[in-house]
Structure 1
């Protein structure tokens, strides 16, 4: 089970593993395409320490440890 935040409805949703449509392993992060039970569309969520570090460096901030999935 995954806890996601739907970017359309802004609600937290508990999602079963069967709703994961794809998992892609990138050098900086892992991307999960998840079918949202709230709005029915597919959202991509990215996670990983290197992803957070790259985002923080681009924003000019110190890197935070990745504690949860972030969505794009």
Structure 2
């Protein structure tokens, strides 16, 4: 049994193993294709330590880029606000 969250209905669903349609092995994660009992669609759920590490690394890089662009915008605004 698997506990999944349906991305369509946003409900937690308990799913039997027979609802797993396929499992794909990737270098960074496993992809489970699961038929959802709530909406009837097939959703892909990715699992694995390396997948979580890669996602975390990407989130940290995105935050750093957003912070640096916010700092640059603040610096530009400060230069415009100061009379010459």
TM-score range, shorter chain: 0.7 to 0.9
Aligned to 1:49: 49
Q: Secondary structure at the match of 2:43?
A: strand
RMSD of Structure 2 on Structure 1 (CA): 1.0
Give, in angstroms, the shift of residue 47 of structure 1: 0.5
Aligned to 1:70: none
User: Which of 1 and 2 has higher RCO (CA within 8 Å, sep 6+)?
Assistant: 1
- Unmatched 5+ residue regions in structure 2? 62-84
Counterpart Cα distance in 2 of 1:36 and 1:48: 21
Give, in angstroms, the shift of residue 34 of structure 1: 0.1
Aligned length: 61
Report 1:1-72 matches (<5 A). Answer: 1-60=1-60
Counterpart Cα distance in 1 of 2:4 and 2:58: 25
